[in-house]
Chain A
């Protein structure tokens, strides 16, 4: 049996990489992909704890997280397409409309 700690460390590493992507990258598409990475890291933690406690409710939770992630991806990509249509750019540093 694999210790649950291994999965938790893997999940933490994955989440940290996702945070790095959100902070450092300028392409809105890559930022959205990094958000997906973070959601998956959370899911991995849920499933690992579900396995440790022999509790299938964790799987139901992870299923709901997946559905929410799919909705988030659809709306997020639609917003990116809409922004690209009006601004001709997907650079998050140029999207300062709400700042001024």
Chain B
């Protein structure tokens, strides 16, 4: 009832046919993604920020599914909402500290002086180019699009080198993380004073 004028307007625009199920789903998912991201950068409590980030990642997984990228949607949930977020939660639990003033307001005038023109330029450029974007294939993709078989086929043939390089990169990252985060103790160093040990 309340939406009647809105619907009438949409019919007048000849736009109501595009308000199908996926379109409505997109707006719900987009709201989850944007609100989650905003909560992430505004929360004082770091655990709340991580939880909002998980909501954002789930919303992104849903939008990948809307784009027929089923394999990536599953990976997004497994890798981001699963592995990376658990890592973040652990670190937050280890070193959760209250921040006296969480927003860096110093030099905000200079930042605004650079940032506001940058945002105006970004919005202007985006609105200019987005009007020219024409989807090359508006019809539904083939059945195999975005499946594990097709993406895996690409990864193990055309992009085999990149795939192997990434495995090496992950190995380096694991070793680097262990080396950097390890407590530095040399065997011949004198033991730390008692008050430091209990600090």
Chain A residues in contact with chain B, CB under 8 A? 1-10, 12-14, 16-18, 20-21, 23-27, 29-30, 32-34, 36-37, 40, 43-44, 47-48, 50-54, 56-57, 59-60, 62-64, 66-75, 77-82, 84-85, 89-93
**CB–CB B133/A75 < 8 A:** no
**CB–CB B176/A75 < 8 A:** yes
The tally of CB-CB contacts under 8 A between chains A and B is: 223
**CB–CB B126/A12 < 8 A:** yes
Given A52-B137, A73-B88, A16 and B174 contact (CB-CB distance below 8 Å): no
Chain B residues in contact with chain A, CB under 8 A? 18, 22-23, 26, 30, 33-34, 37-38, 40-41, 46, 49-50, 53, 56-57, 60, 63-64, 66-69, 71-72, 75-76, 79-80, 83-84, 87-88, 91-92, 94-95, 97, 99, 101-104, 106, 111, 115, 119, 122, 126, 130, 133, 135-142, 145-146, 150-151, 154-155, 158-159, 162-163, 166, 169-170, 172-174, 176-178, 180-181, 183
A sample of 8 cross-chain residue pairs with beta-carbon separation below 8 angstroms, ordered by A number, consists of: A3-B18, A13-B34, A23-B111, A43-B72, A64-B163, A68-B169, A81-B95, A90-B95
Contacts of A91 in B (CB 8 A): 99
* Closest chain A CB from B108 CB (angstroms): 8
Partner of B166, one of A9, A18, A29, A68: A68
